[in-house]
Amino acid sequence: MGRLSIATLLFLSIVATNTTPALADTVINKSITYFSVGGRTAEELDKALSEHGPMMNSTGTRHPGATKIKFGGTVTYVKHGERCAVGSAKVTLSTKLILPRWKNRHKANRDLALVWDTLASDIKRHEERHAEIARNHARKLEKDFMALKPEADCERMQARVARLSETAIQDHDRDQARFDRMEAANFDRRMVRLLQYRLDSMTKR
């Protein structure tokens, strides 16, 4: 997830301050864990996120947040006359959100706290969306399993299910990658807008 440095966001916030007053059968499990980051300055926070954020195998780099996704489930088969069909399908999905927690937040000055709260909130929203994309694909896959037409025998039916599973995972991965690209392209503008919104809200209190 591309991002402006915290130091840059802090500068922007200071400038702004000075210039502006399931489907039932789909088994879904979601959990959230946190990793601690230290630091008392924007530069130290950037360094801590780069060193302690979750490692992504797809990029080989550490990120400020991540969502681990695991699909599973079972499909049963039944005989329909001389043909074989899907009898039942249950897709399982486990999503684990990994988010940062700044242990020095309570000691932070106003500007750095504002930037951190804005960034942390956006990271959480981003990872929640990854989990939502996975949920949508899990539910669709379950429906697609049940919509498969019978095959001549169960061996062919199992092969059909396997192909559908593989295609579904590829579609899921593409959607996740597309979302990341869109988020990265809009990150700078989004963060400036969110900072401005929070600053405006503070001045109205």
Q: Which amino acid belongs to residue 124?
A: K
- The predicted structure's pLDDT at residue 110: 86
161 falls within a domain: yes
> Domain range spanning residue 122?
6-200
Count CB neighbours of 145 within 10 A: 20
| Residue 205 falls inside a structural domain | no
Spatial distance between the Cα atoms of 205 and 197, rounded to a whole number of angstroms = 13
The verdict on residue 148 lying in a domain is yes
Strand positions, DSSP E, 38-182 = 55-56, 61-62, 66-80, 83-102
Low-confidence ranges of the chain (pLDDT < 70): 1-25, 202, 204-205
Q: In the numeric block, which tokens belong to residue 56?
A: 């992504």
pLDDT of residue 6: 45
Q: How far is CA 57 from CA 32, 148, 174, in A?
A: 20, 34, 16
101 is a domain residue? yes
Summarised one tens digit per residue, pLDDT across range 147-196 is 999 999 999 999 999 999 999 999 999 999 999 999 988 888 888 888 88
Structure tokens at 156: 């062919």
Indicate whether 28 belongs to any domain: yes
The predicted structure's pLDDT at residue 192: 84
Residue 1 placed within a domain: no
Q: Is 122 a domain residue?
A: yes
Q: What confidence score (pLDDT) does residue 109 get?
A: 87
pLDDT of residue 18: 34
| Count of domains for the chain | 1
- Residue 205 has a pLDDT of 61
